[in-house]
Chain A
């Protein structure tokens, strides 16, 4: 066996890569619950790709055949129902994991120097993931698939001058049709997954270049032992391979509970109106995007102007990109920041969830007022950050990790 390894190592840096990124990659030993979600996200990515491949074997990407092919998968294909549920539930859980993964970054200042690029690459992955989910959602060709795609592609028409032509170019037709379905299929199955995988590789490389942050927000590389390894670090393998394996088992238990007992999740993972085939003559009573888009959808509806609403929605996502430069506090972790900032984070989380809930509900005058308040709070959290973070009363940061 070692002979084979030597043969490979003479031609490809296999052992070197293993040591650099796994076997001798020193990771802070005080990782907590919030640090499971990176490896879980990677697992879900692999799961979505594998279940996606098998779905593609039986799926028919045409206007006439798409809806029926999904039912064919559910009923006739051996284990097709399981592959379909794993993919649909996996998509929603992907966003649950990613939002928690991002929130960890907010909690512990993981976006601060020297990890700004890790954060930026992560944000690019997030936006790409949203595109991937949007393209994928049209594929079952249900009522919500069709009308959701119609509403969202229509938004591009709000861009001045080029808007109308842009919408036709995106759709491949004057309305959402088989042409749109075919190209969304191509994008969803190969183009965007390739981009995501590439970005994930870069994201992990950027992380490994500077080393992981930790719940105390201190640099473990500052204090090293006689071998040159951080005293507050442990090698990723076996410590975090075994810990993340435990995290994975717990996650799979929850995943399975949902897949086998509540795959529709009350209409939030598999929407009820999507069990009707697409019909361009019948508008559903209530068009709403899937739950993971609803915070931004609520912002779009809160602004009483089509183009400005689109801009606001885009800004809601884009503002995350500049977070490393908005936060002027020298302390990374929320553990040693002011009580004021701790409460602000809670307010931000409530605002984000509140916007998400509002985005699922039909339009209502009272709720629109609430959506506007939440949107204002959301943006002020970021825009006022350079000011209020400059004057924070922080606590002394320890030299060594505290777990």
Chain B
């Protein structure tokens, strides 16, 4: 009876998900936070393409530099390198990665919805969402910026990376309910980068944003290995101690 009830609950859940309408399939984002070169490339892309509108208000330049290897042999941050390549709106290496766009201007230019801060977007939406989103823009003459997005319908953001990716067109199909949905996107006009290269650059950017969402991730996991190993040993020792005391009981 228990199994039948469990099956019923699960079946209802599955039924619910498939009935909720078409969702553009998310691709798996290749995340590797140990790849410091990737983090640096992602930071560079962010500074040059995204930071004009988006801030990373919780990310300090100094920490980014330390964690992504922008340091000399003694481990000192290469301040000039960081300032020249990544710092266009603030002065000090300890400052956070703010955007130069003023809040009032942002409200005016983007119809009261200013471009959001992206510090925690990777935790909120997930790496796969970001990776697919940045590659899912397509031409749509009806939109203010001339583009729409298969992952985020009617998004207010222009396709900043269109120069690199090129212009995509949607290919439609009919879903189970007879509604017209996007099946896939096809490259109509090539950009500066071939698709595989563009995907790699986007992967770097998403890698960087995943890092920004929780800079201490790698440290957390590294410490965790030792903590858990220690506790497993402690549990074993505790068990034998318990057994020794309880031998005369029972």
Give A residues with C-beta under 8 Å from B.
Answer: 29, 68, 71-72, 74-76, 81-82, 85, 234, 238-239, 242-243, 245-246, 248-250, 252-253, 256-257, 259-261, 263-264, 272-273, 275-276, 343, 346-347, 350, 354, 357-358, 361-362, 364, 366-367, 370, 403
Contact = CB atoms under 8 A, between A and B. Distances in A.
B124 A253 contact: no
A75 B235 contact: no
Contacts of B194: none
Nearest to B17: A361
Interface in B207-250: 213-216, 220-221, 223-225, 227-228, 231-232, 234-235, 238-239, 241-242, 245-246, 249-250
Interface size class of B (residues with CB under 8 A): 35 or more
B9 to A, nearest CB: 5
Nearest first, the 5 A-B pairs at minimum CB distance are A260-B224, A246-B238, A249-B235, A275-B120, A275-B124
28 contacts: A68-B57, A72-B58, A74-B216, A75-B58, A75-B63, A76-B60, A82-B220, A238-B245, A242-B242, A242-B245, A243-B246, A245-B242, A246-B239, A248-B238, A249-B231, A253-B235, A256-B224, A256-B227, A256-B228, A257-B224, A260-B223, A260-B227, A275-B123, A276-B120, A343-B1, A347-B2, A357-B9, A364-B16
A343 B125 CA distance: 42
Contacts of B220: 81-82, 85, 260, 263
B242 A246 contact: yes
B15 interface: yes
A132 to B, nearest CB: 25
Contact of A243 (B6, B232, B242): B242
Contact of A366 (B12, B119, B125): B12
B100 interface: no
A75 B60 CA distance: 9
Given A249-B234, A347-B1, A358-B9, A259 B245 contact: no
B13 interface: yes
A71 B58 contact: yes
Q: Binding site of B, secondary structure by majority: helix, strand, loop or mixed?
A: helix
A242 B8 CA distance: 43
B111 interface: no
Contacts, number: 109
A71 B224 CA distance: 21
Contacts of A366: 12, 15-16
B97 to A, nearest CB: 12
Interface in B64-95: none
Given A243-B242, A354-B9, A370-B8, 15 more contacts: A29-B250, A68-B58, A74-B216, A75-B216, A242-B241, A243-B245, A246-B238, A246-B242, A249-B238, A253-B235, A260-B227, A260-B228, A350-B6, A364-B16, A370-B9
A361 to B, nearest CB: 6
Interface of B: 1-2, 5-6, 8-9, 12-13, 15-16, 57-58, 60, 63, 119-120, 123-126, 213-216, 220-221, 223-225, 227-228, 231-232, 234-235, 238-239, 241-242, 245-246, 249-250
Nearest to B220: A260
Nearest to B116: A276
A397 B122 CA distance: 58
A239 B15 contact: no
Contacts of A276: 120, 124
Contacts of A249: 231, 234-235, 238
A366 B214 CA distance: 39
B2 A346 contact: yes
A246 B6 contact: no
A256 B242 contact: no
B221 A362 contact: no
B231 A367 contact: no
B228 A239 contact: no
A347 B6 CA distance: 11
A133 to B, nearest CB: 21
A242 to B, nearest CB: 5
A249 B239 CA distance: 9
Contacts of A357: 9, 13
Contacts of B9: 354, 357-358, 370
Contacts of A264: 123
Contact of A367 (B1, B16, B250): B16
| Most chain A C-beta atoms within 10 Å of own C-beta, residue among B123, B214, B234, B242 | B242
B28 to A, nearest CB: 17
Contact of B238 (A245, A346, A347, A370): A245
B165 to A, nearest CB: 27
Nearest to B212: A75
B238 A354 contact: no
Contact of A256 (B60, B231, B238): B231
A260 B245 CA distance: 33
A222 B197 CA distance: 79
B162 to A, nearest CB: 27
B246 A239 contact: yes
B124 A259 contact: no
Given A75-B58, A246-B239, A252-B231, A239 B12 contact: no
